[in-house]
Structure 1
Amino acid sequence: MAMVTLSEVARHAGVSLATASRVLNGSARTPAADIADRVRAAATTLGYVPNAQAQALARSSTSLIGLVVHDIADEYFASIAKGVQRVAADRDRQLLLAVAGSIHSAAPEVDRAVTAFAAHRTDAIILAGSRTAATDAVRSRLEAYQGRGGRVVTVGQSWVPGAAAVRIANREGMAELVAELAADGQRRFAYLTGPDAALATVDDRLAGYLDGIVATGAESVALIRGEFSMAGGHECGQRLLEQLTSTRRRPVTVLAGNDVMALGAASAFAEAGLRIGLDIKVAGFDDIGVLTHLSPGLTTYRLPLGEIGGLAAELAMDPELPDPAPVTGEVIRRASA
């Protein structure tokens, strides 16, 4: 079946091709309401589908937003992406998604994503990602994109000159978590964190943990690095148990740099026969959705991840908006700590 053309719609409505184009492609120059209604009715009757490229030319906008994340299967990034999608859809924008993969070598993949989004003439690019992406080459490409009228928004940190940013109070949140647990009588802590210098989130939360230890006078008995994942948390948990067993330094409250690391560590502790919340305490950070289905429940610091994504989308669509204040959350106490 042949596609209906704009010329056929114009003939059916009894208007010129230019008039039909202005109505259906979203030009600022629109004809009288009765003529516009006649054109839209003709398009509906004939089953006409507007051409996206023609609409973009007429509007000087593609209504496309590009989003770069590292792992869409990770609930942290998935929740942010859902927030972006929700707000974008409310404003009749379409979301293009790129997954940059490893946080250790993100720059080439982020560079390819930015190049692809620029080729698709997206109105904005949102970056929720790692510090390793912040190379001179990626910055230069993003600055060139902004120079052509594109909007850039970063999530979690600000590393692109001239870009908008949704900052997250990761350091303050982790310090608050330590303070609340210490005030509850938990005085000996171990910390499981991600790889060094890969994510600003990793460094900020570690700094917050150390701030909390200093402020409360609590004891930090171990600091172990691993992958910022459930498998990484499991491995870190096993290494921590070996260390605690050799020094006989239990009980301890184990804090992890995110919830998935905490879940991996809790699995390692359970495999060793320890009762979570009794023999050893565990807490995470983010409050990802899967936590509502766990028993015992995981104590964590809840970030409004969907709201963070929504704020990024608002900044992407409205260049007049100022950057918001750093996003904060709240401590959520459950049975694990």
Structure 2
Amino acid sequence: MPKGPVTSPRLQDVAEAAGVSIATASRSLSGATGVSAPVAERVRETARTMGYVVNLHARSLAGGSTRSVGLLVHEIGDPYFSEIASGVLGVGAREGLTVQICHTGRDPERELAQLRMLIANRVGAIIIAGSGMVDPALQAPAKVELQAFRRSGGRVAVIGRHHLGVDAVLPDNTEGARSVAQHLLDLGHRRIAVAAGSRQLTTVADRLSGVEEAFAAAGLDVGDVPVVEADFTRAGGKVAADEVLSAHPGVTAVLALNDDMAIGVLSALRARGVSVPGQVSVTGFDDVAVAGDLAPSLTTVRLPMSEMGEQALLLALKDPGARPRRRQVGAELVVRGSSGRPPS
């Protein structure tokens, strides 16, 4: 007997299976408000089990097409992300796209909520800028949402190392960090402290790996190098600098794993009357626009941040490939006034 056509489950089928109204099912799947978290999760799990996929194209026909892109950044006030955003916005302007920018604060739960909101707003593509999480389980819910989004025709690209299985622009964080650590070692520094963000972030893990490679090659015991974890922000840099000066007063250099932290370190040292680089050298990572205008100007690692934003959106606008595509981006050491030889 010939088999009948295979039909995809409808929203009505999901609603009936979850024991809710069609309106509640729709709000749950779109991430809209007005549904309790347990009910929304039950509906989403039912939809996943049944293989239900939201038809974004049908939604566009019903509600009006929107040529928009969602951009998720960790810290909207961090120049690193503002420069990436400028690249995304530039491509968006050329392509006639509207860009919605969301701030996640490096919180996986907040990132998930923002993703659902963007999908509910019917964006055509989502760009995630910034680090993933070292533990894949922390991004597993986001991966599920993005896979469903892609199956429905949405496009996704990320900047940085993630466990999301999508197109990615990958800066060479490990080699960049190795080069700046080697720079300090070549100047003669041996009492170096690292100002780092959370080790849960892949960017921090990769940059620490490069620092450790340089130290190990120089015969230094990495276990003796103080690594101070704080918020990956300017305020976190101040906290890290205060801890370094209090707990490790013999340190002659602070290697910050991003420029925002490095700027905070410089501020804290200035407040304490510590001269840079006369008493303590400071380095950063990213080369944000203001890095060359600081006093002293910041030795750092240059990433082409605007170009990274451009590449990410251009990847997302391409037809999907059979496998996730990768765009490697190099890192360049930029030596300026904040690093010098250790005091005699």
TM-score normalised by structure 2 residue count? 0.74
Deviations 1:290-332 (A, max 9, x none): 2232111110001111011011010111135773442112111
Preserved CA contact (<8 Å) 1:296 1:335 = yes
Q: Tell whether 2:198 aligns with 1:195.
A: yes
Deviation at 1:116, TM superposition (A): 2.2
Residues 190-229 of structure 1 show CA distances to partners (whole Å, capped at 9, x for unaligned) of 11111231x2111111111111111233576422111111
2:241 matches 1:231? no
- In the alignment, structure 2 segments of 5+ residues that lack a partner are 1-56, 340-344
User: Are the counterparts in 2 of residues 182 and 218 from structure 1 also a CA contact under 8 Å?
Assistant: no
Does 2:272 match 1:272? yes
Shift of 1:147: 0.9
8 Å CA contact retained: 2:131, 2:160: no
From 168, 171, 175, the counterpart of 2:174:
171
The AA in structure 1 aligned to 2:187 is D
Structure 1 residue 183 displacement after superposition: 2.4
* Residue correspondence of structure 1 range 147-162 to structure 2 within 5 A: 147-161=151-165
Deviations 1:264-288 (A, max 9, x none): 1122222222110111111010111
Q: Which secondary structure state, in structure 2, belongs to the residue aligned with residue 165 of structure 1?
A: strand
Partner of 1:38: none
For 1:110 and 1:170, how far apart are their aligned partners in 2?
Answer: 22
Q: Which of 1 and 2 has greater Rg?
A: 1
Gaps of 5+ in 1: 1-52
> Partner residue of 1:306?
306
Instruction: Provide the rounded CA distance (Å) in 2 between the counterparts of 1:315 and 1:216.
Output: 39
Structure 2 distance, partners of 1:116, 1:296, is 42
Q: What is the CA deviation profile of residues 23-52 of structure 1, one whole-angstrom value per residue up to 9, with x for unaligned ones?
A: xxxxxxxxxxxxxxxxxxxxxxxxxxxxxx
- Do structure 1's residue 69 and structure 2's residue 73 form an aligned pair? yes
Match of 1:92 in 2: 96
RMSD of equivalent CA atoms: 2.5
**Counterparts of residues 103-114 of structure 1 (less than 5 Å):** 103=106, 106-114=107-115
Match of 1:123 in 2: 124
Large movers: runs of 4+ above 6 Å? none
Are the counterparts in 1 of residues 238 and 264 from structure 2 also a CA contact under 8 Å? yes
Q: Does 1:295 align with 2:299?
A: no
Provide the secondary structure at the position in 2 that maps to 1:131.
coil
Structure 1 position 134, deviation (Å): 4.2
Seq. identity, %: 35
Q: Indicate how the Cα distance of structure 1 residues 277 and 202 shifts in structure 2: closer, same or farther if over 3 A, else same.
A: same
Instruction: Count residues with an aligned counterpart.
Output: 275
1:143 equivalent among 142, 147, 162: 147
> What SS does the corresponding residue of 2:113 show, helix, strand or coil?
helix
| TM-score, length-scaled by structure 1 | 0.75
Deviation at 1:244, TM superposition (A): 2.7
Which residue of the partner structure matches residue 240 of structure 1?
A: 244
